[in-house]
Amino acid sequence: MGSGSARGTGQRRATATIGDVATAAGVSRATVSRVMNGRSTVDATIAERVREAAAGLSYRPSNAARSLALGRTQTVALVVPDLGNPVFQQILRGVMDGAAEDGYRVLVADTVEDDQQEGAIALEARMRCDALVLVSPRIGDAELSALIADVEPVVLVNRETGGAAPSLVVDYEDAALQVVQHLVSLGHRRIVYLGGPVRSASDELRRAGLARGQKLHADLEILDLPAGPDIQAGHLAAPAVLATRATAAVAFNDLVAFGLLAGLNEAGVAVPADISVAGFDDIELSRYATPALTTVAVPQAELGRHAWRELHAVIDDDAHPASSARFTPSLEVRGSTGPVRQGPERVHVTDDDVVPVLREEIPTVPPTAAPTWSVPADADADAVMLTCGDGLELVRRDAGDRMPKVHARRPYLHPVHTLAGVPLTDVSPVDHRHHYGVGIAVPDVNGTSHWGGRTFIEDVGPTLLKNHGRQTSEGVRVEAVPASRPVGAGAEAGEVLVEDVLWSDEHGDPQLREERRITARLLPQAPGSAAAPGWVLDWRSTLHADHGPLEIRSPATNGRPGAGYGGLFWRLPIVESTSVLSAAGTGENRAHGSSSPWVAFVQRQGGRSTTLLLVQPGQVRPWFLRSAEYPGACPALAWDAPLLVPAGGSVQLDLVAVLLDTELTSSAAAALAADLTDGGQR
């Protein structure tokens, strides 16, 4: 939301105003107005006192006030710097709603961000109406004080006046601090700010909040790029943003953020995987951006309604004092912000002269430091992490609260890194926005979708239905791995993350209870081996039909052959190349639908190779697998027939994942999978 230049200084104006006369005479501004306009309804003694006060202050009524001496028009004017900004449109709507209730109409004047003409436009608007609402004026303090004297009565929105007129101010300083604290909590330490109009007071407030955040975090670097107030400004700034190598960008407003998102998308940059983006104002389109925009919500229409209440009181004047109301915005966290990427940086060349440089190799962690889970006192916070060695983050668990409802909210793991810091998960990618790292996603549980996105309807095709359920965490805790559960030679017992999850349908009614147990351990390395070490993630979930029988289906069972997805799904990032290995052979076509006990994704990016080996240690289900369109896989719960679970019964989902910073051959993958399933390591 745009605003004017610096706050009012509070110094006495050189030109006396009607308010000054009213104060000196001890009467209301309406009384002064009636005396100056020659009305006979004022007591002669009081009128004389007013005239003496006016003479002593050298007060001259404004031309605008004289033009309205014969009566009121029942019309007020709203002056804005850019009516194309949805924020100003909502403020206008709030003013109009309030004014209509009191029998007033609203005129609109757009200064098109021209501070040279702003005063003249405001004065002309005032000549046609009873009062003004000035929204985010761009003119300087001295000019504003003189303008207020000429156009009273007036109320200002998003600009303080030092008491010259009622004003409503959004605390953008606190808003910017909220954004900084959020990004810092996600690991960002290099942030770029896309500044707004040069003479914008709210831009100064944002900068003050950013500066406060920088003082609170000594290792935080905040860079500054000039931009502007609109979508085009954000789009043009995209190359400069990438050149800073910042991990997060904060835009002056949501419009600038939209333009930046478009520019980043054109450059092939993933948000938030490569860079997080945040804005200000929470305009209506913010939640529908791709991805949905993290922003600070401002009560736009309420600002307009409040402005009208203040203005109406001034017009009627019962000695209404000039006052300042401050609005505190709230942070709306959505999909455009996420944890900072670890490991090798994806380089985006935006200039022929720029030489891409990868970060230095992150040292691998020796296979001696057991991974450990950390759960904060507030288990609902997105701060449950698995770390290893010297603070290396391997896994972060997300509660899923920020997902759009149509993505079927659910807790999931992302990012999941190799020991060298390479991420092997992706979240809300462009190809399938409802894919989220590693989690249990099922397209049809008694008619409710826990997969997200569109649902396949026979004879209709993929259709977006309002049947999306929710998986809600009811508690997260860490336990020691039971001694009765062997973990294999050379592996430490470690810890297990236990989470109780309630599955509810689209109406909020409970469907089933899930007990989720996730363990992690380092993969033993052969003595003297030069191979990169790896680690193992072991996920076991039991779905309990505590609330009645379950019928689990898939698009395949609903009429779409081969689309038997649904279960414990792992979504990988798209990289330069991905190869698929399995006991059924090499390639997606061999692995998809097979009953291979294991599959492996070998990925190559920037001269590095990784392998994700997925093993089914118990019952082997057919694999739903993709690698050409996108890389991802899950053991299918309902491959070609519905899975029926009687009331009181249960079904178990097991998957063991091995993450390696090296490329496995088919024979090596088969041997490792056999060792995990036959070696008693579960």
pLDDT digits (tens, 9 = 90+) for 123-151: 888 888 888 888 888 877 788 888 888 88
**Per-residue pLDDT at 368:** 59
Choose between 187 and 17: higher pLDDT. Answer: 187
Say whether pLDDT at 68 is over 70: no
Say whether pLDDT at 3 is over 60: no
Task: Write out the two tokens for 465.
Answer: 């239905």
Q: Which distant-in-sequence residues (6+ apart) come within 8 Å of 328 by Cβ?
A: 171, 174
**Per-residue pLDDT at 11:** 42
Q: Say what angle helices 86-101 and 300-316 make with each other, to 10 degrees.
A: 40
Say whether pLDDT at 583 is over 70: yes
CB contact at 8 A, 604 and 612? no
- Dihedral of the CA atoms 389, 393, 399, 405 (nearest 10)? -160
Choose between 425 and 480: higher pLDDT. Answer: 425
Say whether pLDDT at 67 is over 70: no
Choose which CATH entry (3.40.50.2300, 3.40.50.970, 3.40.50.1100, 3.30.479.30) describes domain 18-158+303-316: 3.40.50.2300
Please, how many CA atoms are within 13 Å of residue 488, restricted to the half-sphere of its CB?
19
Rounded CA-CA distance 136/133 in Å is 10
Amino acid letter for position 441: A
Q: For the residues 507-522, what does the mean pLDDT come to? A: 96
Q: For the residues 576-587, what does the mean pLDDT come to? A: 96
Say whether pLDDT at 358 is over 80: no
**Residue 304: closest CA among 494, 99, 588:** 99
**Per-residue pLDDT at 37:** 66
**Residue 234: closest CA among 272, 266, 201:** 266
Q: For the residues 175-202, what does the mean pLDDT come to? A: 92
Q: Other CB atoms closer than 10 Å to residue 215's CB: what's the count?
A: 9
**Per-residue pLDDT at 567:** 97
Domain boundaries, the chain: 18-158+303-316, 372-678
Please, how many CA atoms are within 13 Å of residue 177, restricted to the half-sphere of its CB?
15
Determine which helix (DSSP H) or strand (DSSP E) holds 93, and give its type and residue range: helix 86-101
Q: 367-421, pLDDT tens digit by residue? A: 456 888 988 776 445 578 999 876 788 999 999 988 888 899 999 999 999 998 8
**Per-residue pLDDT at 270:** 81
pLDDT > 70: percent of the chain: 85
Say whether pLDDT at 245 is over 60: yes
Choose between 369 and 254: higher pLDDT. Answer: 254
pLDDT > 90: percent of the chain: 46
pTM (two decimals): 0.57
